Amino acid sequence: MSSYLRTLTRRFSTVKPQSNPFPPPNISALPWLGPTRKGVEKPRVVVLGTGWAACRLMKDIDTKIYDVVCVSPRNHMVFTPLLASTCVGTLEFRSIAEPIANIQPAISTSPGSYFFLAKCSSVDPASHTISCETELHGTTEKGARLDSQKFKVAYDKLVVASGAQATTFGIPGVEKHAIFLREVGHAQEIRRKLLLNLMLSDIPGISVEEKKRLLHCVVIGGGPTGVEFSGELSDFIIRDVRQRYSHVKDNIHVTLIEASEILSSFDVSLRQYATNHLTKSGVHLICGIVKDVHEKKIILNDGTEVPYGLLVWSTGVGPSPFIKSLPFPKSLGGRIGVDDWLRVPSEQDIFSIGDCSGFLESTGKSVLPALAQVAERQGKYLASQLNKIGRASGGHANSTADVNLGAPFVYKHLGSMATVGRYKALVDLRQNKNEKGLSIAGFVSWFIWRSAYLTRVVSWRNRFYVAINWATTLVFGRDISRI
Amino acid sequence: MSSYLRTLTRRFSTVKPQSNPFPPPNISALPWLGPTRKGVEKPRVVVLGTGWAACRLMKDIDTKIYDVVCVSPRNHMVFTPLLASTCVGTLEFRSIAEPIANIQPAISTSPGSYFFLAKCSSVDPASHTISCETELHGTTEKGARLDSQKFKVAYDKLVVASGAQATTFGIPGVEKHAIFLREVGHAQEIRRKLLLNLMLSDIPGISVEEKKRLLHCVVIGGGPTGVEFSGELSDFIIRDVRQRYSHVKDNIHVTLIEASEILSSFDVSLRQYATNHLTKSGVHLICGIVKDVHEKKIILNDGTEVPYGLLVWSTGVGPSPFIKSLPFPKSLGGRIGVDDWLRVPSEQDIFSIGDCSGFLESTGKSVLPALAQVAERQGKYLASQLNKIGRASGGHANSTADVNLGAPFVYKHLGSMATVGRYKALVDLRQNKNEKGLSIAGFVSWFIWRSAYLTRVVSWRNRFYVAINWATTLVFGRDISRI
């Protein structure tokens, strides 16, 4: 046994001077991943983000041409259209999360490719480097204290695809008291909170008023996410709570508050269908504007006080502080301005796609909506552009390759879908708000909704789990373990 | 719309004086669930805990005779033999957690039965009441600030089955730096930490020494849990890390530290098999005693320093502060002392089962090991005793029913099983350490291990998911999303 000990101790105490893959930088005291050497190393594409745009780009990029370095605070992509379903357990969290290492295996196996769990803090176009800081948000307190570490990465091509953030319109208390619905962590928080409130409302001595408050779920924002979440909640209440929490069944309610109209991008007949269906399912629809958010109640513009136990905030997205801080010209709405080929025209080798990017006014095109299908299409387009540039030996930084860029990026809307609960959904196949086209609502739409998303889920593993989750929810009901 | 608002506002602002199911108590200012009225209400069994003993009891108790009130800080039972498999994603967390509402549906549907997410703080045998406090551990900080609430519950029969807690032997730093492996929350923490360390070890500028520290997983305690977790970890490293994190594959190591011998309750040939198998799988076995636990290293008795990135502590269990605080005679080892019929003999209507209870020395029986099969058998026995007492009209408090208690509880050990990773397990069917009997190791044992546990999982839903998880792990590998 003592030889083990000796080996172990030796292994840790003697650090042989090895060849360091990260040599100290010349331009800064921070550790870094230095510039690639032309002719010796592959050019390096640095991708910021792991959303729809970034993941589609990384999936399609030719790793025989490029090394890929991904910088993101999460190591997985979230299949956002199904996120609302995970809050009440219709689907499980892991069924909609896809590790980057599955989407692009080269990132964790190819010697020059890396995934860094970090946030980019600044971009220096002159030296072709970015500054990063490790992201330890949500990290356990057990074990070694974790200090975040700063480092730099040199890029040949930089793709900014770090997405947007939930808007609060500067309303006081939103950040502190409301839960957004953009990440798996948010869905987990909603599920834990909902189950906690269900259990707390049963404690002896609780007043009827407090019980009703605890069990009042308020959703702000009548876009597809808010509507789908309200539908899932009412399903959960009708199917699972009434059956299994009979003590509280008459006290639990869902209210959806929207400033104008729900699902405003959908066809008017679909909007009407959704309104009727949600109302029939027990969701209270309120037209109102939130003025203030307190610990246990929100205040509307007209002074109405609405007590709540769970508050979910889903009123669209806007640019993040990082995007605002970047020294590039912006599009309308404060996104990174790009040209017809999704390049940041003022800089060499910088591109931007997804919710953080928008066409510059000079292109004459309008800023595209913050939708998964826009982001994915842009990722696909940019990957093929970068592959083309790389094949023409223009992959390295500042290579003035004479590449014909070809056709600019054009977005064609395929339609919108949203489920409203109880095996009903809306499918709107019009190409934009003002055109005519097919729009259907009901069970057939719901079937289309499920089938369409099932085929879009990234991996076979998750496709399988989504189908299994749907089947077990149907047969056994939703899981109410609060873990 | 405004009528909605009015209805909503009215609903919350006017609280009609309703009949309160929880009248204010006479003996205290706290809200409470008062005593049951003989002839009008069913007698009430109050169960503390949701482990193996408590859940088996609640499953078997006749809810036509009794109302059941369960008090526990978690609303689900954990299938503990498979907990180690969830730390690395062989199984998912929800596949081994079973909500109490599924185990005994009456608890959340029958009018006099309740589940309270709370901890019992004291027992008053004279007034037949317990004092409780809501348990908000692990609660989100979003939304209303949650103050824990105190309340009392009167019992007719009290079953103390709140389990034991991990022992630290008073070694400094264990509570602060090590992760135990007793709850789903612990397994989640281990999985997050392991994936975090894998990713941090790839950050530019990290030294080889620090990389090796981050990727050194140390397990303290060579009982079945420690051995199974080490086996799962080495499986994860061989199968998933080497394939998908090729940057770090040579730097990740597992060390298992045990003061005497691993799996000391198993047959000597099985112990030898386990030692060989673990060593071959790359687990370093060290015989040593931990003296001190620091933030990034542990110190053994002989002065050896062992740096670690993940530290899992699994050295057995001992009585919790609550059990120590109860004013009942204790068994050897500080558990609640019970007689041959699992009653606390000094008090009326109090019973104790599972890891928190032990035979009084006066019974002449030795204290049973802290095993799931002991706890479950005790739960089953006590449920049938209580049903018998209830049918003889002895259910209410202090009913001096003339019930023939029948045969005392006798424990017959069915054998022990443990998996050691890579499709190998040990099965020891001897009735105790000193007897002879069948003991086998290898693939057949592994097959028996899996089949046996699969049939023991509580619900069909989870049985299905455990099988599906095993199948997808085999086909697709383990999920490495850090959510």
Closest Cβ opposite residue B134 in set A22, A200, A245:
A200
Q: Which residue of A has its CA nearest to B307?
A: A12
Residues of B whose CB is below 8 A from A131: none
Q: Which residue of A has its CA nearest to B151?
A: A204
Q: Which residue of A has its CA nearest to B284?
A: A4
Residues of A whose CB is below 8 A from B8: 255, 284, 286, 304, 306
Strand arrangement, sheet containing A283-287: A283-287, A253-258, A216-220, A310-313
Pairing of strands A114-124, B150-154: unpaired
Residue B142 has a pLDDT of 58
Contact call for B151 and A205, based on CB within 8 A: yes
Sequence-ordered alpha helix ranges (H) in A61-121: 83-86, 100-103, 106-109
Quick one: which of B67, B17, B242, B304 has its CA closest to A101?
B242
A235 phi and psi, to 5 degrees? -60, -45
Give the gap in angstroms from C-alpha B383 to the nearest C-alpha of chain A. Answer: 23
Restricting to A residues 89-108, those with a Cβ less than 8 Å away from any Cβ of B are: 92-94, 97-99, 101, 105, 108
Residues of A whose CB is below 8 A from B307: 12
B22 touches chain A (CB under 8 A): yes
Quick one: which of B336, B315, B319, B318 has its CA closest to B327?
B336
Quick one: which of B22, B174, B9, B303 has its CA closest to A202?
B22
Contact call for A192 and B483, based on CB within 8 A: no
With tokens 């953080």, the residue in question is A356
Residue B483 has a pLDDT of 85
Q: Per-residue pLDDT tens for B4-26?
A: 444 444 333 333 334 444 544 44
Q: What region does B393 belong to: left with phi over 0, alpha with psi -120 to 50, or beta?
A: left
Residue A13, Cβ neighbours under 10 Å: how many?
Answer: 10
Q: Per-residue pLDDT tens for B88-136?
A: 999 999 999 999 999 999 998 999 999 999 999 999 999 999 999 998 7
pLDDT band at A404; cut points 50, 70, 90: confident
Residue A136 has a pLDDT of 78
Residue A438 has a pLDDT of 87
Residue B6 has a pLDDT of 44
Q: What is the DSSP letter of A37?
A: P
Contact call for B151 and A203, based on CB within 8 A: yes
**Could you tell me the pTM of the whole model?**
0.92
Percent over 90 (pLDDT), chain A:
79
Retrieve residue B209's tokens. 């020494």
Give the gap in angstroms from C-alpha A81 to the nearest C-alpha of chain B. Answer: 17
Q: Is A321 exposed, middle or buried (0-12, 13-18, 19+ CB in 10 A)?
A: exposed
Which amino acid appears at position A478 of this protein? R
Residues of B whose CB is below 8 A from A30: 205
Closest Cβ opposite residue A189 in set B140, B146, B199:
B140
A438 phi and psi, to 5 degrees? -70, 130
* DSSP symbols for A355-385: GGEEE-GGGTPPPPPS-HHHHHHHHHHHHHH
Average pLDDT of every residue of chain A: 90
Q: Which residue of A has its CA nearest to B100?
A: A481
Positions in chain B whose pLDDT score sits under 50: 1-21, 23-27, 143
Contact call for A8 and B255, based on CB within 8 A: yes
pLDDT band at A180; cut points 50, 70, 90: very high
Contact call for A139 and B184, based on CB within 8 A: no
Mean pLDDT of all residues in A26-47 = 86
Mean pLDDT of all residues in A21-30 = 53
Sequence-ordered alpha helix ranges (H) in B115-177: 174-177
Domains delineated in chain A = 2-164+319-391 (3.50.50.100), 174-316+415-476 (3.50.50.100)
Retrieve residue A142's tokens. 């057990």
A208 touches chain B (CB under 8 A): yes
Strand partners for B165: B318
Q: What is the ipTM of this complex?
A: 0.90
A11 touches chain B (CB under 8 A): yes
Residue B321 has a pLDDT of 96
> B159, B353 in Cβ contact below 8 A?
yes
Contacts of B193 (CB under 8 A, 6+ apart): A139, A140, A142, A143, B179, B309, B310
Contact call for A208 and B118, based on CB within 8 A: no
Contacts of A120 (CB under 8 A, 6+ apart): A48, A71, A130, A131, A132, A162, A322
Contact call for A114 and B202, based on CB within 8 A: yes
Closest Cβ opposite residue B76 in set A11, A94, A481:
A481
Restricting to B residues 37-66, those with a Cβ less than 8 Å away from any Cβ of A are: none
Contact call for A310 and B177, based on CB within 8 A: no
Residues of B whose CB is below 8 A from A244: 101, 105, 108-109
Cα torsion at A193, A197, A199, A203 (round to 10°)?
140
Which amino acid appears at position B210 of this protein? E
Residue B276, Cβ neighbours under 10 Å: how many?
Answer: 12
Percent over 70 (pLDDT), chain A:
92
Quick one: which of B356, B313, B325, B318 has its CA closest to B175?
B313
Contact call for B99 and A480, based on CB within 8 A: yes
A115 touches chain B (CB under 8 A): yes
B112 touches chain A (CB under 8 A): no
Quick one: which of A377, A375, A459 has its CA closest to A96?
A459
Q: Per-residue pLDDT tens for A303-324?
A: 999 999 999 999 999 999 999 9
A203 touches chain B (CB under 8 A): yes
Contact call for A199 and B287, based on CB within 8 A: no
Helix axes B224-236, B268-280, angle to 10 degrees: 30
